[in-house]
Amino acid sequence: YNHRLQRAEKLKIISDLAASVAHEVRNPLQVTRGFLQLLSSRTESKDKPYFDLATNELDRAAEIITDFLTFAKPELDTIVQLDLIAEIKKIEAIMNPMAALHGGILEFSGEGDITIYGNSSKLKQALINIIKNSIEATGKDGVIKIEVLEDGKEAVVRIADNGQGMEESQIAKLGVPFFSTKTKGTGLGLMVTYRIVEVMKGTIKVSSTKGKGTEFTIRFPLAEPIPLPHQTNI
Ligand code: ADP
Ligand code: MG
């Protein structure tokens, strides 16, 4: 009981903070980023890495703010039919450079028409947070498999890595705000993922073995196919 109460209090504090601060902070970050890029383009090449570093750190700050904002307002603004495979291919393209930077690879499999209801940018955010963790959990020989398939009335997205894995006690804390084992971690990523999947009426399962790897299985209800308008020959 006590544990739950603490969690509820924490959640309330975070969402209040997020709603009031996030928007205000985002704008100056964007402006600063723009000027940095302008300066970088006028700067000698030996100094460019510093601009890149600064820009990356600004992006990191912006990501944290986006996570906070999603937490404060997880409702989907617009819900449309999503072509799940197309969405995940886009996400893979976004995450490939980060995987490459860590020396790992993303492997995608899945084909066909799998349609779910949801919001494209929220889905992106939810899955990117999982994939990012996988990349961070794996080293040079990291392989992150992303699989999309249909199972009965559900769409299944499976993200499996061969990274460091987790103990049972760690798995139990996933999605709890501020739970992080990383020095630069925020412990916000999966909390956001869990909320987004929840508002998209999906479920998440995690299985993990210390030293072997981790697998996230996300299930969404399939969208009912929209019947085509009846064709009449004139
Ligand atoms: P952060 O990444 O900022 O630490 P997250 O909410 O994204 O916060 O993740 C919380 C914690 O869950 C991580 O610090 C890590 O200990 C654990 N974790 C999540 N995904 C994985 C994974 N694929 N492999 C190993 N540990 C993971
Ligand atoms: Mg994370």
ipTM for the assembly = 0.99
pLDDT digits (tens, 9 = 90+) for 11-67: 777 777 777 777 788 889 999 999 999 999 998 889 989 998 999 889 888 888 888
Q: In terms of C-beta density within 10 A (0-12 exposed, 13-18 middle, 19 or more buried), how is residue 76 classed?
A: middle
Ligand whose nearest atom lies closest to the CA of 181: 1
162 ligand 1 Cβ < 6 A: no
Mean pLDDT over residues 88-113, rounded?
92
pLDDT digits (tens, 9 = 90+) for 121-176: 899 999 999 999 999 999 889 999 999 999 999 999 999 999 999 999 999 999 99
Residue nearest to atom 2 of ligand 1 (CA): 185
pTM of the shown model: 0.81
- How high is the pLDDT of residue 73? 72
- How high is the pLDDT of residue 121? 87
Rounded CA separation 114/162 (Å): 27
129 ligand 1 Cβ < 6 A: yes
- The share of the chain scoring above pLDDT 70, in percent, equals 93
Please state, in angstroms and as integers, the Cα–Cα distance from residue 167 to each residue in 70, 174, 210, 231, following that order: 28, 11, 6, 57
**Which DSSP state fits 38?**
H
Cα 47 to the chain's mean position, in Å?
32
- How high is the pLDDT of residue 157? 98
Protein residues near ligand 2, an ion, with CB under 5 A: 133, 189
